């Protein structure tokens, strides 16, 4: 299940179920918002991460590998037109238990669903994805 989070003023992010993006982006004390989702090898891919509102800057994308994936498995993050729009397979390594981050400065001009794509058929692996907006 996708969760949304907001944060500001140096405090920890707090999960919320619904977000009024217009309200958030107009408040000076809110400086971070985003999407967070857990995934594992048995999920159906592409896996929906969530919907990015139009004209909201995507500042960073993270993939945290918790359980290693099989050799040869590649992960990308993007939309239905460009599977690598936000993170290519060269920017993460699913066979290593680390957090891979990519700074971004991308805005979709229309609200867009973003997905985790996987190549190959894994028999193991899990992780977490975070997409940060500002």
Chain segment 64-74, per-residue pLDDT in tens: 999 999 999 99
| Mean pLDDT (the chain, rounded) | 83
pLDDT at 32: 57
Q: Which two tokens stand for residue 124?
A: 């193991």
* DSSP for residue 109: S
Q: Kindly report, residue by residue over 40-64, the tens digit of the pLDDT.
A: 999 999 999 999 988 889 999 999 9
pTM of the model: 0.77
How big is the CA angle at 58 (ends 55 and 60), to the nearest 5 degrees? 175
55-59, 68-72, 94-98, 126-130, range with the lowest pLDDT: 55-59
């Amino acid at each position: 299940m996708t969760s949304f989070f907001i944060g500001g003023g140096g405090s920890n992010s707090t999960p919320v179920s619904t977000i009024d993006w217009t309200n958030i982006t107009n408040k000076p004390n809110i400086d971070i918002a985003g999407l967070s989702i857990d995934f594992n090898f048995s999920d159906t891919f592409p896996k929906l991460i969530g919907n990015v509102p139009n004209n909201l800057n995507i500042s960073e994308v993270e993939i945290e590998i918790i359980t290693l994936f099989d050799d040869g498995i590649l992960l990308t993050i993007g939309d239905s037109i460009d599977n690598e729009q936000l993170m290519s397979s060269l920017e993460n390594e699913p066979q290593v238990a680390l957090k891979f981050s990519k700074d971004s400065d991308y805005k979709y001009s229309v609200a867009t669903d973003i997905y985790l794509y996987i190549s190959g058929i894994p028999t193991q692996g899990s992780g977490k994805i975070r997409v940060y907006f500002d």
